[in-house]
Amino acid sequence: MLWRGGETPEEEGFRPDRDEPIEIERDAARPATILRVAGELEERGDKILELFKEIRSPLAHVVLPIHLMREGRELFVEIETKPWDREMAEETATKAAALRNSEHAEAGLEILSAYAVPREVGFLCGRSPAALLQLDLLRVGPAADPERSAEIFREVASRHWGVDLAYETGYLPLVEQLLLAALDPEDEEQGAPPILDALVYGLGYFVGETIRRNTGLPGSWRTAEDWGEGPVMELAGFVLDPIGKARAFLYEGPEDSVAFFADYVIEQLGGDPEEEHHTTG
């Protein structure tokens, strides 16, 4: 959220309209900006509870600059004065994830920025089902342990959806339905929610582990050298790309079904796995 505004009138008793933007100066010193913004918010009627509030959660320990109450609602405000880059976006996502897994999980989170906030970052500050699910998956990625990541996806998805997922192919159609429902646009003007790599990898690892555990054959994950989205799975002479299939499903929908992919691979492995080397993506 980018708030900009003019000078505050000096009439005694004047309180700026809450909807009037707060100006954030580009490239200004962040600590001084935080103190100034906190003062302006207080003038507007907000109750400042604490500055530089430490948030502790199982995911991370972070600090959010302004903690306040607004009309009986707890709210945290992040302040950014520099241009956004990947590191800033990742740090903000980590802060949002820590907040949602702390005792302040129900609090609001706003960003006041001198530069346009990336859509992905603004999305993660919200409380939509797609945002909350993906925040809990931020630990998952190409460098993470695939088996542990599959388990993180299973645990997180089970908790968010109120089901007890297992590594069985019969659960994959349900996973597809629940993901499609979570990613359905809430506002057609804003479009579909962003899809983070964490969700792509989490789903891909879960699909890969489901395939491996239902074949009864030895298999292992390895780094793809010349193809594939990320780690690939070697299984009885086949090389599978469940990460790529997960991305295709999340972006293209049911025509790239991960459930169909898993059933097909298991059928092939059970039928004629003797050929030396196959690739399935």
Domain match, 203 and 114 both: no
Q: What's the pLDDT score for residue 271?
A: 42
Distance CA 104, CA 117 (A): 23
- Token readout for 73 is 């609602």
Domain match, 147 and 219 both: yes
Domain match, 217 and 122 both: no
Residue 120 belongs to domain spanning: 30-127
- Token readout for 175 is 């996973």
Check residue 26 and report its DSSP letter. Answer: T
16 pLDDT band (50/70/90 cuts)? very low
Tell me which of 127, 157, 189 is where a domain ends: 127
C-alpha separations of 182 from 101, 160, 185, 201, 233 in Å: 19, 11, 8, 17, 28
Q: How many domains does the chain have?
A: 2
Residue 20 lies in a domain: no
More confidently predicted of 227 and 12: 227
Residue 11 lies in a domain: no
Domain match, 78 and 142 both: no
Domain match, 143 and 121 both: no
Q: What's the pLDDT score for residue 270?
A: 78
Domain match, 263 and 139 both: yes
| CATH code of the domain containing 261 | 1.20.120
Domain match, 118 and 193 both: no
Residue 160 lies in a domain: yes
Written as one letter, the residue type at 22 is I
Neighbours of 111 (CB within 10 A): 22
Domain match, 121 and 46 both: yes
Residue 24 lies in a domain: no
The mean pLDDT value for 76-84 works out to: 97
Domain match, 62 and 155 both: no
Which residues, 6 or more positions from 255, have their beta carbon under 8 angstroms from its beta carbon?
none
Residue 241 lies in a domain: yes
Domain match, 82 and 198 both: no
190 pLDDT band (50/70/90 cuts)? low
| CATH code of the domain containing 35 | 3.40.1350.10
Residue 273 lies in a domain: yes
Domain match, 154 and 121 both: no
Q: What is the pTM of this model?
A: 0.85
C-alpha separations of 233 from 16, 40, 213, 242 in Å: 59, 55, 12, 8
Domain match, 216 and 93 both: no
Residue 66 lies in a domain: yes
Instruction: Confirm if 221 and 170 have CB atoms less than 8 A apart.
Output: no
21 pLDDT band (50/70/90 cuts)? confident
Tell me which of 63, 92, 127 is where a domain ends: 127
